[in-house]
Chain A
Amino acid sequence: MAETVRSVMARNTWKENQVLRQILGICSALAVTNLMMNSLVMGLGLMFVTSLSSLTISLLRNLIPHRIRMIVMTLIIASYVILVDIFLKANLPEISKALGPYVGLIITNCIIMGRAEAFAQKNPPLLSMLDGFFAGIGYTLVLLIISFFREFLGFGTLFGYEIPFVSFEPWTIMVMPPAAFFIIGVLIWISSNLFAPKGKKKP
């Protein structure tokens, strides 16, 4: 089945959302979602890296020897991540400091490798780039939804700004990683109900 831009978009953002439907990239979804700003920057970084690594891998797809494809993919992904890291350090030192080790951890984000392995190595470059980009968008959206609840309930702020007229005792649990488990669980439940293929009932 040939994919169009539209189907790539719908598939990656909602129908087969990487975090909620494929359960990939959970590690970072737990780690950086206590503040919306961190989630946003992490999402942007991932979008950039997934797009470019998918593009590069797709351009090289007929040249990469099959046996060492994973090594080549890791090399390409790591290079782009280091690029992002250098760029942040030089131009946005504040954000680079806030994200600390998480930028480096983009390398280990399963989504990037997943898109490279599942899509980029057998599809044309532009489509692969879009595929990576929209996978990144899907990831960012989920992270923002989770961090909205966590930051709102845990700190009483959004993007670091106090919310007027609302005051309550912040929930410390929301700041801790377990809270992300609960929220992700609920989101997975909702998305399964919406998008899971209706299979046969178990006998």
Chain B
Amino acid sequence: MKDNPFYTIAFMLIVSAVFALMLSLTNEIYLPRIEANELLEDRRAVLYVFELDTEGEAEEVLDRFESHVEEQTIADIQLYVHLEGDEVLAYAVPFTGSGLWGTMNGYLGISPDITQVTGLIFTEHNETPGLGGRIDELDYLEQFRGIDIREETTLAYGSDGGDQLDAITGATGTSNAVLNILNDLLDETISELEVALNG
């Protein structure tokens, strides 16, 4: 009976249906929680770029985000603005680009007069843990605070970039991919932003 083609088809259909049902139920149950986690992660990333406190319970973090940050669209660019009263302290521009192994997403902080890079964070990437994955470490990210982009508009590692940035040893591919993404962003989006802001 087990070799009967109809049995085979029926068996496959039933097994698929049972497991698909099980997975979609689990997904349905956990989806709100997963989305909440992802939102929180995203909010923390923006707070980090603005040098605000990222610690604390979910609610505190979301409140802090609400009170300091506003989402705006300037020249068709969706970005987050760090506000203190009416004064703009910094922009966080989202970017996406190809890393060594997959897509990288994150935010780049820019000062309101577009003269400085004020911070960098990645929200998603597929780099090798322990090698390229170390772009998530503060030692690497903190280098991107306060880099002058008035004269030299391209970022570079080592002496070419005025010794402001160090690549990650053993992860040259990832390190270069990061700079390529950021330089493209500075060239295109950030320039557009500058034009839009300064008229």
Question: Which label, helix, strand, loop or mixed, suits the secondary structure of the B interface?
Answer: helix
Q: CA A101 – CA B27 in complex, angstroms?
A: 18
Q: CA A172 – CA B170 in complex, angstroms?
A: 7
The proximity string for B residues 96-107 relative to A, scoring 1 for CB distances below 8 Å and 0 otherwise, is 000000100000
B37 CB contact (under 8 Å) in A72, A89, A101, A172: A89
Q: Is the CB of B170 within 8 A of A176?
A: yes
Given A65-B8, A65-B11, A90-B30 contact (CB < 8 Å)? yes
> A60 — which chain B residues lie within 8 A by C-beta?
15
> B23 — which chain A residues lie within 8 A by C-beta?
79, 82-83, 86
Question: Which label, helix, strand, loop or mixed, suits the secondary structure of the A interface?
Answer: helix
The proximity string for A residues 55-93 relative to B, scoring 1 for CB distances below 8 Å and 0 otherwise, is 000001001111110011001100100110011011101
Residue of A nearest to B124 (CB): A97
Give the A interface residue count (CB, 8 A): 36
> B16 — which chain A residues lie within 8 A by C-beta?
75
23 interchain pairs, CB-CB under 8 A: A34-B130, A35-B129, A38-B129, A63-B2, A65-B2, A65-B3, A65-B8, A66-B3, A68-B12, A71-B12, A72-B15, A75-B16, A75-B19, A79-B22, A79-B23, A86-B23, A89-B37, A93-B37, A97-B41, A100-B125, A175-B130, A175-B170, A176-B131
Closest 4 CB pairs of A and B: A34-B130, A90-B30, A79-B19, A93-B37
Q: Which residues of A contact B (CB under 8 A)?
A: 31-32, 34-35, 38, 60, 63-68, 71-72, 75-76, 79, 82-83, 86-87, 89-91, 93, 97-102, 154-155, 172, 175-176
